[in-house]
């Protein structure tokens, strides 16, 4: 895949992962191979694709980035000659009961291109609806990540990050052209917030947004909204799968990004020197 690509195909995978790791991996591999056969240059898996626990229970599985799960991901990407975004995996932290929720971008040579650890952790308590405390088992990351690739500059994020627009503005000011949001958005918040927030991130940052998602009933206490989707830099929805596991394909056209940013040059008018001055 040498040289810079002006147009390329992304595949976003929708899954219903559970705590059955072997089965999750088999399903993920099937979708990755399907996407590669359909011509995808980059395949993006959802958050927690390899292991999705019952909410409220401890994370019973995690491994280091030189462990067997990442070795398998690297082997698969190398065999297929495709970029592979491992939406997120539980990364072991030495001498800690908590883990990082980590997204990995793996290149077509099987090498790790970028690693992003989820910065915003999902701690909510909606009376009668949902109680989640990600921070009980997960340690937050502290660094935004933009990966330089022949496909363009790719900004990484995970799920709940979506609610914090300042992260995405930092990514775009660091050069991001495509924003990835692998997620397991809840069935309670998803119908109201998922697509509007993704579209907003695309419009305000004039970026492609690719959001592979978890969908359906994972266990008795957890259900995800689904709606794996791709938005273009104008905010147009170009591909979506609402409710079924599968592969969503879209063509990423970097020339469209340039046209949108040139015609409506709001990113040139950003004034970061004003950030943090409210009330002064």
CB 146 within 8 A of CB 171: yes
| Beta strands at 130-133 and 123-126: parallel, antiparallel or unpaired | antiparallel
CB 88 within 8 A of CB 103: yes
Q: What is the DSSP letter of 204?
A: H
Q: Which of 91, 118, 177, 241 is catalytic?
A: 118
How does DSSP assign 27-91, residue by residue? HHHHHHHHHHHTT-SEEEPPTTSS--PPTTS-----B-TTSHHHHHHHHHHHHHT-EEEEEEEEE
Q: Which of 47, 91, 134, 177 is catalytic?
A: 47
Q: Which of 134, 159, 207, 241 is catalytic?
A: 159
Q: Could you confirm whether 47 is annotated as catalytic?
A: yes
Q: What is the DSSP letter of 207?
A: -
Q: Could you confirm whether 118 is annotated as catalytic?
A: yes
Residue 191, classed as helix, strand or coil, is helix
How many residues does this entry show for the chain? 280
Q: Could you confirm whether 159 is annotated as catalytic?
A: yes
Active site residues per annotation: 47, 118, 159
């Amino acid at each position: 895949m040498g040289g810079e690509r002006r147009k390329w195909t992304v595949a976003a995978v929708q899954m219903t992962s559970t705590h059955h790791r072997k089965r999750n991996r088999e399903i993920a591999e099937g979708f990755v191979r399907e996407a590669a056969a359909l011509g995808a240059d980059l395949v993006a898996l959802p958050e927690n694709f390899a292991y999705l626990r019952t909410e409220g229970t401890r994370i019973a599985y995690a491994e280091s980035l030189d462990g067997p799960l990442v070795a398998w991901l690297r082997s698969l990407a190398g065999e297929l000659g495709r970029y592979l975004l491992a939406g997120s995996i539980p990364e072991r932290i030495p001498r800690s009961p908590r883990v990082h929720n980590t997204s990995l971008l793996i290149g077509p040579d099987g090498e790790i291109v970028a690693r992003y650890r989820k910065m915003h952790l999902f701690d909510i308590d909606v009376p009668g609806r949902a109680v989640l405390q990600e921070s009980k088992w997960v340690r937050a990351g502290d660094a935004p990540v933009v990966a330089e690739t022949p496909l363009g500059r790719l900004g990484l994020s995970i799920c709940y990050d979506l609610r914090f627009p300042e992260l995405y503005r930092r990514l775009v000011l660091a050069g991001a052209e495509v924003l990835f949001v692998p997620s397991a958005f809840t069935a309670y918040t998803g119908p109201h917030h998922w697509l509007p927030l993704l579209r907003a991130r695309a419009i305000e940052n004039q970026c492609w947004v690719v959001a592979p998602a978890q969908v359906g009933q994972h266990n008795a206490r957890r259900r995800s909204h689904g709606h794996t989707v791709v938005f273009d830099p104008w905010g147009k929805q170009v591909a979506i799968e609402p409710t079924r596991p599968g592969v969503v394909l879209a063509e990423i056209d970097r020339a469209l990004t340039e046209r949108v940013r040139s015609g409506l040059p709001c990113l040139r008018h950003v004034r970061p020197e004003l950030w943090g001055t409210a009330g002064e």
